[in-house]
Structure 1
Amino acid sequence: MLTLSGAKSAAASTARGRHFRFIWPLLAATALGLSGCMPATTQVPGADPADPAAKVARASYRSTIAPYTSLRPATPAPWRERNESVAPQPKQDR
């Protein structure tokens, strides 16, 4: 699709005499497409991935559910005493 669009725009620009302006998107798309063929890693001096003696970070385990506490229903507390302990105190008459 992109190549076809580039070819159409190049043909149209040549007919109008503006070929140079329409070639840049085609070149950019080609460069972007070829960049996928490049290696993704860079070489660090002295670090060979095939070296079994190479130092690596230690693997550690961290539980994803460690702070979990069960919230299953418990036996109901006496609600009247709990409600009265948080209710506003009645005003005293003067």
Structure 2
Amino acid sequence: MLTLSGAKFAAASAARGRHFPLKWPLLAVLALALSGCMPATTQIAGADPADPAAKVARVGYRSTIAPYTSLRPATPGPWRDRNDAVAPQPKQDR
């Protein structure tokens, strides 16, 4: 894509009788390639992450399924009593 844009710009410049050296695509590719060589972390604040003696926060463990209680095997209750417990109560006025 970058090469195609450079080629179109060069063709348009040549058609107008002007020739501009196309150094910006080369500089962009070079900057992108060199950015991969930069360190991932910098020494902005805090200790060096590669230092094995650096103090770090303790790691705590919390279970994601701690409140879970198994409901199986459960014996079925009498269905009539369970149904009556959740059914709306009949109105007394009518």
TM-score after normalising by structure 1 = 0.61
Higher relative contact order (CA 8 A, sep 6+): 1
Q: Which residue of 2 aligns with 1:40?
A: 40
Q: Which residue of 2 aligns with 1:76?
A: 76
C-alpha distance in structure 2 between counterparts of 1:45 and 1:81, whole Å: 66
Q: How many residues align?
A: 91
Q: Which residue of 2 aligns with 1:11?
A: 10
Q: Which residue of 1 aligns with 2:54?
A: 54
Q: Which residue of 1 aligns with 2:88?
A: 88
C-alpha distance in structure 2 between counterparts of 1:59 and 1:85, whole Å: 47
- Please tell me the residue identity of whatever aligns with 2:10: A
Instruction: For structure 2, list consecutive stretches of 5 or more residues without a partner in the other structure.
Output: none
Instruction: For structure 1, list consecutive stretches of 5 or more residues without a partner in the other structure.
Output: none
Q: CA RMSD in A?
A: 3.4
Q: Report if aligned partners of 1:10, 1:23 keep a CA contact under 8 Å in 2.
A: no
Worse overlay, 43-52 or 58-67: 43-52
Identity %: 70
